[in-house]
């Protein structure tokens, strides 16, 4: 790629230098996938027990560091395998466009893992050492999501693994470290959150479908084709809101959770922005809006649980 095209892509993506380079490396529009489960799990817990603030903060920081490290492993291994180029959309671009050394990205990811491990030790000391086993498995999956001989992200299971471990597992841990137990209600509430997190990965794969297919990936978006993958995304949104409604009827969620319906407008916008688009740059707004849909649903769900706690 010549310098003119490279500069055009950086300008289109609004990529700047300095601190912004490192901020993009974290892929901030995806970080709600780690914030939301910790927030929701903790808000479920405060309806059953007193809030342990430091445990909440430690869990929140550890989860966001693990996800950030996972994004860095993604950046590093996709570059090593030759999948990322200067034209790639949706990546941090720190290696292929900003010239950051691949080893620096890898070392930073490992440093984030070390900090997460230290926070995990504190969490275990204050709760239960079985959390260490679950945490280590989650960290390993974060690495193998794009690392290892058969990366999970290159298979049809990427959305399932990311949704389950970043949604259900993190909500379960966040609830457990506050209460010392896990209830069926907490697990039920985790399902729509897990769905929205899986949708972030699905939206990413819809956008990257052509390039992923060319490089031999077998994501669910590739297997279904883009139009059907967008339909699946819409069905997952609908199912998540149906579950929310059902939980309110059954008393698993408070009636206050009706405020999560405010996110439906943005979910509809996501599908409209994806439909008929074929170019990655065209689909970036839809990808970002998917992350925001997860953010709005998760924040409003957690807020409804907090309001229920107050009243």
In a domain, 15, yes or no: no
Confirm whether 11 is domain-assigned: no
Domain span at residue 229?
20-306
- What is the rounded CA–CA span in Å between residue 141 and residue 2? 37
CATH number, domain of 40, equals: 1.10.600
pLDDT string in tens for the chain (311-residue length): 445 555 544 555 555 656 677 888 887 777 888 899 999 999 999 999 999 999 999 999 999 999 999 888 888 888 887 776 665 655 556 787 777 898 999 999 999 999 999 999 999 999 999 999 998 998 888 888 888 788 898 899 999 999 999 999 999 999 999 999 999 999 999 999 999 999 999 999 999 898 888 888 899 999 999 999 999 999 999 999 999 999 999 999 999 999 999 999 999 999 999 999 988 888 988 988 999 999 999 999 999 999 999 98
The answer as to whether 5 is a domain residue is no
**Does 13 reside within a domain?**
no
Task: Kindly report the pTM of this predicted structure.
Answer: 0.88
Residue 77 domain-assigned (yes or no) = yes
């Amino acid at each position: 790629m010549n310098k003119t095209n490279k500069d055009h892509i950086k300008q289109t993506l609004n990529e700047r230098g300095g601190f912004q380079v490192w901020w993009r490396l974290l892929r901030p529009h995806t970080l709600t996938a780690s914030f939301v489960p910790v927030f929701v799990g903790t808000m479920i817990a405060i309806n059953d027990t007193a809030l342990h603030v430091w445990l909440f903060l430690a869990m929140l920081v550890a989860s966001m560091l693990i996800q950030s490290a996972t994004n860095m492993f993604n950046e590093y291994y996709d570059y090593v395998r030759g999948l990322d180029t200067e034209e790639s959309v949706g990546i941090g671009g720190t290696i292929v466009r900003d010239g950051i050394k691949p080893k620096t990205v890898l070392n930073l990811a490992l440093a984030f893992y070390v900090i997460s491990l230290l926070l995990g030790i504190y969490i275990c000391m204050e709760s239960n050492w079985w959390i260490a086993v679950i945490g280590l498995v989650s960290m390993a999956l974060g690495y193998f999501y794009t690392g290892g001989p058969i990366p999970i992200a290159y298979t049809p299971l990427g959305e399932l693994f990311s949704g389950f471990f970043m949604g259900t597992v993190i909500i379960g841990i966040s609830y457990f470290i506050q209460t010392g137990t896990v209830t069926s209600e907490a697990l039920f509430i985790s399902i729509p959150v897990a769905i929205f997190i899986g949708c972030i990965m699905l939206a990413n794969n819809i956008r990257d479908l052509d390039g992923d297919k060319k490089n031999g990936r077998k994501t669910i978006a590739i297997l279904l084709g883009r139009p059907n993958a967008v339909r699946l995304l819409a069905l997952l949104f609908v199912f998540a809101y149906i579950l929310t409604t059902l939980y309110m009827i059954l008393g698993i969620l408070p009636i206050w959770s009706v405020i999560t319906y405010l996110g439906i407008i943005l979910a509809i916008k996501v599908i409209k922005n994806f439909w008929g688009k074929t170019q990655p740059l065209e689909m970036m707004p839809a990808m970002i809006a998917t992350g925001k849909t997860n953010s709005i649903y998760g924040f409003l769900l957690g807020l409804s649980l907090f309001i229920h706690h107050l009243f």
